[in-house]
Structure 1
Amino acid sequence: MTGRTVLAPIGELAAWWAGLALLWLVLISSVQPLETAVGAGAAALGALAARAARRAVSKR
């Protein structure tokens, strides 16, 4: 595996995670540590789902 094949999926997941985590922080009313942790976890799951969906569609 080359560096690009390893870094591209990581970069894509990081971009999805950052966008979803930012959206979570904008939509909640108060930023508490527990809410931040839950938002980070939810954003990680969303990033994995978004990457899987994009890969499923692009293979058609």
Structure 2
Amino acid sequence: MELIHNLFSSLRNVLTLETQTETDERYLADAVDHVDLERRIASQSRACMSMAPLNIGR
């Protein structure tokens, strides 16, 4: 029974698409300490700001 459960769990994980929000949350949750968390937040902030010029004028 455990084998079937593991098989279905693995199959569900493979077929389920992960959203950008989930990816970002997991990235922040993987921080090992407060300094690492601040660095990760800053890097996401820079990435967001680098995309800003693409949205100007629309």
Please state which band the TM-score falls in when normalised by the shorter chain.
0.3 to 0.5
RCO greater where, 1 or 2, for CA within 8 Å and sep 6 or more? 1
Q: TM-score, normalising length from structure 2?
A: 0.42
- For the pair shown, which has the larger CA radius of gyration, 1 or 2? 2
Q: TM-score, normalising length from structure 1?
A: 0.41
